[in-house]
Structure 1
């Protein structure tokens, strides 16, 4: 593959994207009216979700700090996916409250409005435009005016090209910039999807089993990526791979869900030593 051209020259190849100059810059997130003066980006308080009498969430309460990387673990059926569905507006809680910062009531917004407010979600299976190049995927994901006329006649500004370049460096796909996404490895597709979320300038990233199906080397690189994003963004990571959780949790907080509520919370070492967690999830 030929070497990647300077990003300042990439606008000549652009066919999509005409956002305000400098609006998308990886690692520098502009606030969108989210009040985090109390230090938390996400509040869930006594959230219950019932499906035909079954409580997928049962009085779930937790909060995530600004810039925090929070790991969520627990057995299948613990409520992890339903929790993410509530945060992103896919599922409405039967009772309880969910706030983005102190002032944005997530239970009153549509999914698209929640995404626009600064919450990005990555599902377990990567979803990329396989017939498009890595560059085109990032460009399509950029916050921009997607109406027909701007799309046909737009060219990237220098700062938009810089934003793509910064994201490429973060996800380590500079050498694959002109490769079709369908030709990438599973791990590379996962990184590309994370990059696409970053192009949307999220304040909070929700990642569902980001290393499922990855090789050991890809898992290691993903841990490095998430540790790099820590502090730049707030992250909630749902994962079953305990070695990976240990790599990214550090001394931070790990939340264990069971039967729709918080069973235990603390450092990885603390939850691993908790008799209740050992009984219902980790085993002896």
Structure 2
């Protein structure tokens, strides 16, 4: 195991996973939401929301508090059922018919704002526990890592820049390192789409910069939806990619960061506050 980690340290190019479930992405779309509405006691948290995410795309989602960003992710991951509308993963998986566990197994991983790691276990043990394997008691007790599994852990450690911390208890990591570890744990589950909720909240400037580098390294290998309030960070990772602005449960504007920043509607409801 140590040999695999040392071999993969700094070798991000070798990183890669193959998802176990076939997701039809022939049309270049990994996620398609069409007319999604979610009502809570008459209040529409999402109001006929329609958007799509391309295969390998890094999409930033911004908007004021209450715009529907969290509810949208809840619908995608099966936590909340829409009142109406459809949500498709690729072309062939109707997310509204699946449980949270089934959606995760299909290839959608979600990271919440606060990192959740096993603090008493080492970094490497956290990645091993998160690995996409048979989690029933007997296989877990008697399992031994294969060479491919050890390689996958080593490659992920190198990607998230935690190889030097591999044997350190996760509870001793900095806030930013815990965030990277949790992203690594999601990667061990072989996702095709990653949903990241405010990934740089509470980070130092150096950690924020490193997180931006990590997300851009993941782009193309995975599709990413990044919900974030830090506009400087969004600008740093969005490049010429598409940024979506939500307001009152619907898409208010969409385009490059420069375009949405210049949009008078966005200025009035969000940036101008």
- TM normalised by structure 2 equals 0.95
Gaps of 5+ in 1: 10-24
- Residues 28, 54 of structure 2: 8 Å contact kept: yes
Q: Distance in 1 between matches of 2:118 and 2:55?
A: 31
Matched, 1:244 2:233: yes
CA change 1:179–1:8 in 2 (3 A) is closer
Match of 1:72 in 2: 61
- Residues 26, 198 of structure 1: 8 Å contact kept: no
Matched, 1:57 2:46: yes
Match of 1:98 in 2: 87
Give the CA deviation at 1:31.
5.7
Matched, 1:5 2:6: no
Q: Number of aligned pairs?
A: 267
Q: Distance in 2 between matches of 1:78 and 1:259?
A: 5
Matched, 1:164 2:153: yes
Which residue, out of 217, 221, 227, partners 2:216?
A: 227
- Residues 67, 234 of structure 1: 8 Å contact kept: yes
- TM normalised by structure 1 equals 0.91
Give the CA deviation at 1:30.
3.1
After superposition, what is the alpha-carbon deviation per residue over 1:229-266, rounded to whole angstroms, capped at 9, x for unaligned?
00000000000000100111010000000000000000
Secondary structure (helix, strand or coil) at the match of 1:232 reads coil
Root-mean-square deviation (CA, aligned residues, Å) is: 1.6
Q: Which runs of 4+ in 1 moved over 3 A?
A: none
Q: Distance in 1 between matches of 2:33 and 2:5?
A: 43
Give the CA deviation at 1:149.
2.0
Give the CA deviation at 1:118.
0.2
Secondary structure (helix, strand or coil) at the match of 1:236 reads strand
- Residues 8, 158 of structure 1: 8 Å contact kept: no
Matched, 1:133 2:122: yes
Secondary structure (helix, strand or coil) at the match of 1:212 reads coil
Gaps of 5+ in 2: 7-13
